Structure 1
Amino acid sequence: MTESVTAGWSEFAAAAAGAAAALAGLVMVAISVNIREILTLPGLPARAAAAVGSLVLVVVTGLLLLIPTQTNGALGIELLAATLGAVWLHLVSLNQISRQADRPRSARALSFPLAALQLIPIIVGALLVLAGTDGALYWVAVGLVLTVIGSMLDAWVLMVEILR
């Protein structure tokens, strides 16, 4: 592959980074407004951290895609490293969710696949970038879009559902 793997992705990367940064700010405001309720409910602080961490992952990924003349190897490693932080935050959140006996089993069972659905495409895309595979960034893009959607669902819980 002679052309940079990120060629043609700059507008997507800038839009993703900008949108996720704005959304992360809104989630932080939602957390600060409802901090007492969030801290009293088991598992919600970790869920809030996972939501913010996921949006930060989208911002960081967008910025990484904008670095000019990067090698596939460097970008792939950077994407994997960035994703590991979000994976860790989701694992902590999932661990706390799995311990909540008062939550319906179906809700607990859905938590892992929903987290995996967001992050696995980014990991696959990073590995494909490392391998120099054409089209690898489509996997990353799908993961970023799903991550924004998942984070917004978490934000809804942090803003609205905890007050019901």
Structure 2
Amino acid sequence: MTEPVTTGWTDFAVATAGAAAALAGLVMVAISVNIRQILGLAGVSARAAAAIGSLVLVVVSSALILIPGQPGSALGAELFAAAAAAVLLHGVSLSQSMRQATRPRAARLLSLPIAAAQLVPLIVGALLLVFGNDGSLAGAALYWVAAGLILTVIGSMLDAWVLMVEILR
């Protein structure tokens, strides 16, 4: 019997789930403290939703990795579905961001690559799990997933900075 694809990833998944859950709570506090400013500025509420959704994506993805014994293809499909929800949230946020004439053009143009850097590695990893029939692809897939989860936490923290500090300037 072959080992599950997630063998050796338990500590990583536990650490990322815990960290992302704590950060999501802090972002929720930041949102509640600055809710008037967030609601008063066009597109910022969608950015807040994307930040929270991304951190929830990290928690959910980490929890999925912790499910014992599931086939890699099932894990890949689950991760892909979770990432698709985050893509929708980021899509709405990006759409609203691009329409903000008051926001500097450079900041608007950077939004898409920052969102892509977070979500593309996770999606690549999920697809490698779904379609990777040999063990080497499945093993590499989790490194892609890990990169996506780490970059998603970083991207969410950038959004959290905007929600806590930049909107008050």
> Which TM-score applies when normalising by structure 2?
0.95
- Secondary structure, counterpart of 2:8 in structure 1: coil
CA distance in 1, matches of 2:37, 2:53: 20
Gaps of 5+ in 2: none
Between stretches 134-143 and 50-59, larger displacement belongs to: 134-143
- Within 5 Å, which residues of 2 pair with 1:72-87? 72-87=72-87
Gaps of 5+ in 1: none
Q: Give the 4+ runs in structure 1 shifted more than 2 A.
A: none
Q: How far 1:101 moved relative to its partner?
A: 1.1
In structure 2, the residue matched to 1:68 is: 68
CA distance in 2, matches of 1:139, 1:95: 26
Equivalent residue for 1:157, pick from 156, 159, 162: 162
- Within 5 Å, which residues of 2 pair with 1:68-147? 68-132=68-132, 133=137, 134-147=139-152
AA aligned opposite 2:8: G
Question: CA RMSD of the aligned region, Å?
Answer: 1.0
Percent identical: 72
In structure 2, the residue matched to 1:21 is: 21
Q: How far 1:136 moved relative to its partner?
A: 0.8
- Within 5 Å, which residues of 2 pair with 1:1-12? 2-12=2-12
Q: How far 1:131 moved relative to its partner?
A: 2.2
> Which TM-score applies when normalising by structure 1?
0.98
CA distance in 2, matches of 1:161, 1:72: 41
Deviations 1:60-115 (A, max 9, x none): 00000000000111101000000011000000000000001111111111000000
Q: How far 1:143 moved relative to its partner?
A: 0.5
CA distance in 1, matches of 2:108, 2:91: 13
CA distance in 1, matches of 2:104, 2:52: 25
